[in-house]
Structure 1
């Protein structure tokens, strides 16, 4: 009952309330991004949603435009923005549109879809989320196999208590400042087949 009906009702109510309460903060961050990085203020990228359906993910921009890897384009301002996770707040609109949930596996690039194992593909049976079990366990510092396994476990058993634990755990990680990036990377290494990471950087963060 919770997974089929209660979760979505809670998403709409809480996301609406959060947008209302946080509107001054959203405006402040948007202004800071505009002053630090120029236009556009929002970063948009196609990500895989429930059942692998594509949707446009919204974030505040944290990198300079132009060529180069993530580490070269990520400014000190952008690093602080990502560490605080304030760049993710526009995804509350994705939640209201039904493309995301407040809690669920993080939405990953469409290019990753053929790289999942059958077990890892279970993460696609639920809406992606702002917070999640993998984020609560370590955010981007968690290796891909562990991260995708936690996503699969969550998707196989969605409960209100699991969502509450994931949300509280994610908040705790964010407040601690841990897990902003994988060791040796500006964000996360790209995903190869079977959930194994490879060298190099994605053009934009998979977090």
Structure 2
């Protein structure tokens, strides 16, 4: 059962206002990135994937595509399909722009634990599953603590820490650290992976 806090109502209002402003003001950038994705990777320009949100409810995550489609009969890793253009999008976090639509819909928040794969739901311990007590975020405490280079065990600890400590002050600090991480392009991916290796429960046993 999700544990509500008075800040959650304020947070949702701030999410709606912030996402709406960025989508309107940033619409020319949004259109430019979409055109560049279509030119470099083809259509569709959006990556869509089911992800679990608050209380484990599944929604469709929206991002700009960063990987090429595999050729017929080709069996390659995500790392091999990630293009140079896609790496630039990821390093600047421009691929995340469509996720603001998820924020407006109420699927996500600006700040919160990152939404992971649906298949991971059954792998969590009860403590790790607490990350779903809040809406998932475009950025979060784990992301500003090393992004995709943070080991799964530590990442889940940070997610639960955010659930426990969430506040306007913490969210503001995370957003500031996110901006700095984007400028520095820190922790974009774990070594040898497009993002991170697959989470396996034995890694945190």
Shift of 1:196: 4.3
Partners of 1:194 and 1:125 lie apart in 2 by 23
Aligned-pair Cα RMSD in Å: 1.4
2:154 aligned residue: 146
User: Is the CA contact 1:71–1:185 (under 8 Å) kept in the aligned structure 2?
Assistant: yes
Asked if residue 168 in structure 1 is aligned to residue 181 in structure 2, the reply is no
Q: Deviations over 1:70-106 (max 9, x none)?
A: 1111111111111111001100000000000000000
Asked if residue 100 in structure 1 is aligned to residue 108 in structure 2, the reply is yes
- Displaced runs of 4 or more, over 6 A: none
2:30 aligned residue: 26
TM-score, normalization by structure 1: 0.91
Partners of 1:179 and 1:36 lie apart in 2 by 24
Asked if residue 77 in structure 1 is aligned to residue 81 in structure 2, the reply is no
TM-score, normalization by structure 2: 0.92
Q: Deviations over 1:136-177 (max 9, x none)?
A: 111111111111110001112221111111111112111101
Partners of 1:156 and 1:101 lie apart in 2 by 16
* Structure 2, unaligned runs of 5 or more: none
1:133 is paired with a residue whose SS is coil
User: Is the CA contact 1:117–1:195 (under 8 Å) kept in the aligned structure 2?
Assistant: no
User: Is the CA contact 1:101–1:127 (under 8 Å) kept in the aligned structure 2?
Assistant: yes
Q: How many residues get paired?
A: 197
Asked if residue 40 in structure 1 is aligned to residue 48 in structure 2, the reply is no
